Amino acid sequence: MCNRIAAEILTPRKQFLKSWNETKMPDFTQLSKYFNVSQLVIARRAFDLGKINWQTYQDIAEKSKARKAAGGGDAYRNYPIRNSKRFTKTIVTQAMSGHTMLREVASLLNVKPDTVMELSKRLSLR
């Protein structure tokens, strides 16, 4: 019951079917971006609504599992996004110039001081 309610909230039936029918070929990537959910959620909704068969759903589930097992992205690329690019660059620059203590910058970014040093290299601040 909870899964059906969640599915209806995340991918409303009427809107899902409209979006599904507007695409010539099922585009799980496009639909997942439109509804802001994973491709697996789109596949499950499509299966529940009779738009794909069980094997197609299983194939997408396996691909999703493989992507998840492959790991995440580059953490050093995520720090500036998580903390804002301007803020990250400014305080890392301050640390590298000696105006702010390295451990204080690390605390502000919620990372270790060694990570601040590596981040400065990756941001080409040294």
pLDDT mean across residues, the chain? 90
**Cα separation of 114 and 120, whole Å?**
10
Amino acid at site 86: R
Task: Tell me what percent of the residues of the chain surpass a pLDDT of 70.
Answer: 96
Query: Is the per-residue pLDDT at 126 higher than 60?
Result: no
**Cα 70 from chain centroid?**
14
Token pair 């059906």 is found at: 4
- Read off the pLDDT of each residue in 4-8 and give the average, rounded to a whole number: 91
Nearest Cα neighbor of 112 from 103, 123, 121 is 103
pTM for the model? 0.57
Query: Is the per-residue pLDDT at 121 higher than 70?
Result: yes
Long-range contacts of 12-20, Cβ-Cβ distance < 8 Å, separation of 24 or more: 13/49, 16/45, 16/49, 17/49, 20/46, 20/49, 20/51
Query: Is the per-residue pLDDT at 1 higher than 70?
Result: yes
**Cα separation of 86 and 73, whole Å?**
21
Query: Is the per-residue pLDDT at 78 higher than 90?
Result: no
- Read off the pLDDT of each residue in 82-92 and give the average, rounded to a whole number: 92
**Model confidence pLDDT, tens digit, residues 28-66:** 999 999 999 999 999 999 999 999 999 999 999 999 888
